[in-house]
């Protein structure tokens, strides 16, 4: 049984990205918290009370009076509740990469003590906590699971850039490795989440619930993407169709687009990996993934066709891609599928400029070898793609956007920023 109370818990949040930092800040308003990250530059910036991801304001960081930041292992020794919020990406072969999760578990194992609880928030396949992470904790610490230490799983539901649905206003799923620990984990999150909690019957159930949330969304978007391809061939405006269908009370309001980010474009591969490991080959999930992964090439192909129809020479043409982040009004570049459009256009011999006021230039260079331009050159482009619906782009308006193009150019609105009659192409 857990040997400490909610009141005496000292929390360590391992990984201070889009998920970990808001969690550390919220807990840090009420109880002792160590925010831990191996990125020393990130720690220095947070110690100076600034978050480069813009998920947490400088004022909110200041309000977390019980929170301290560190990259030093010994600062974790006095903690008794460890919450792991590191990324869980996929590799080049679309296979789950648990390296950050395993390394975080090794780090915790070095300071783990009897009675401690380790809670994972990272998205994984069902069974990963107890089958992949717990053995690492046991091996490094020398302690026994559910005898000396315990585990929990509470999947993150952070929506980067969303200032309305935030950590405290989104229902939190919780679970624990014993009934007593499940109660403790649930009570811990209930102390900060005003929207309430849902205590799952097991860690595996909580893991499965998380991974299907984004799988379901991925499949819905893939259906709409396929419909958009069909409607484009029929010469029908997809948005007009969706608006008409949306008048029915139970029609789901999904829109076509590039499916990137740290969740929707990644999580389904965790589920399909586990399914294949137990001898089942998923068909619908992988079909949806293939379709969504191919949308970048489709968009590039549509633009090339439009250029050819205007008798614009494709090789050597200049195209401006407006937006690089995976979603609007957010600096997050993780798994952005805009890169697929850029890569495909360059394969056609097109010169591509990228403009995104939300992006850190050094990060874009490091992640994708792309140097975004500060300001597009007026009258310079044969094609303009509105790839991300940043507020700044909508504010420019159609006249401002058209001024960026040459006398004869193609304006492709991927995000329905403009009315239908103001762009040359829409998805």
CB 253 within 8 A of CB 246: yes
Of the residues 2, 79, 133, 263, only one is catalytic, namely 263
The predicted-structure confidence for 3-22, as pLDDT tens digits, reads as follows 557 888 999 999 999 999 99
CB neighbours (10 Å) of residue 385? 28
Sign of the C-alpha dihedral computed for residues 378, 380, 382 and 386 taken in this order: negative
Q: Is 263 a catalytic residue?
A: yes
The predicted-structure confidence for 261-302, as pLDDT tens digits, reads as follows 888 889 999 999 999 999 999 999 999 999 999 999 999 999
CB 51 within 8 A of CB 17: no
Please give the mean pLDDT across all residues of the chain: 95
- With cut-offs at 50, 70 and 90, classify the pLDDT of residue 164: confident
CB neighbours (10 Å) of residue 325? 24
Cα distances (angstroms) measured from residue 150 to each of 112, 173, 191:
10, 18, 20
Q: Which two tokens stand for residue 122?
A: 């990272």
Cα distances (angstroms) measured from residue 100 to each of 89, 107, 219:
9, 11, 27
Give pLDDT, residue 3. Answer: 56
Question: Is the full-model pTM beyond 0.75?
Answer: yes
- With cut-offs at 50, 70 and 90, classify the pLDDT of residue 161: confident
């Amino acid at each position: 049984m857990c040997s400490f109370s909610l009141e005496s818990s000292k929390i360590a949040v391992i990984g201070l990205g889009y998920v970990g930092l808001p969690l550390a800040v919220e807990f840090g308003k009420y109880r002792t918290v160590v925010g831990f990250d191996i990125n020393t530059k990130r720690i220095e910036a947070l110690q100076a009370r600034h978050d480069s991801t813009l998920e947490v304001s400088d004022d909110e960081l200041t309000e977390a009076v019980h929170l301290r930041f560190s990259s030093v292992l010994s600062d974790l020794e006095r903690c008794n509740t460890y919450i792991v919020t590191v990324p869980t990406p996929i590799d080049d072969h679309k296979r789950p990469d648990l390296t950050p999760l395993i390394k975080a578990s090794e780090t915790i194992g070095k300071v783990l003590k009897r009675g401690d609880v380790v809670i994972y928030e990272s998205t994984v396949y069902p069974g990963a906590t107890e089958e992949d992470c717990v053995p690492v904790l046991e091996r490094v610490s020398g302690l026994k699971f559910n005898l000396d230490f315990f585990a929990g799983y509470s999947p993150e539901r952070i929506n980067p850039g969303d200032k309305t649905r935030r950590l405290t206003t989104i229902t939190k799923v919780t679970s624990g490795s014993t009934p007593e620990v499940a109660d403790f984990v649930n009570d811990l999150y209930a102390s900060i989440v005003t929207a309430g909690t849902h205590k799952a019957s097991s860690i595996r159930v909580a893991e499965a619930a998380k991974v299907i949330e984004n799988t379901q969304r991925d499949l819905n978007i893939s259906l709409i993407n396929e419909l958009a391809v069909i409607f484009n061939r029929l010469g029908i405006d997809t948005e007009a169709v969706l608006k008409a269908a949306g008048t029915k009370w139970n029609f789901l309001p999904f829109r076509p687009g590039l499916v990137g980010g740290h969740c929707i474009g990644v999580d389904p591969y965790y589920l399909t990996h586990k399914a294949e490991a137990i001898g089942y080959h998923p068909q619908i999930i992988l079909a949806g993934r293939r379709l969504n992964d191919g949308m970048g090439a489709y968009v590039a192909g549509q633009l090339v066709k439009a250029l050819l129809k205007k008798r614009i020479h494709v090789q050597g043409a200049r195209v401006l891609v407006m937006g690089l982040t995976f979603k609007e009004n957010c600096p997050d570049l993780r798994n952005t599928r805009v890169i697929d459009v850029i890569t495909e256009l360059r394969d056609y011999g097109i010169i591509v400029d990228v403009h995104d006021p939300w992006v850190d230039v050094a990060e874009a260079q490091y992640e994708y070898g792309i140097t975004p331009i500060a300001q597009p050159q007026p009258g310079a482009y044969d094609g303009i793609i509105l790839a991300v619906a940043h507020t700044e782009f909508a504010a420019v308006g159609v006249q401002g956007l058209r001024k960026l193009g040459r006398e004869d150019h193609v304006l492709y609105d991927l995000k329905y920023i403009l009315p239908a009659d103001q762009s040359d192409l829409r998805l």
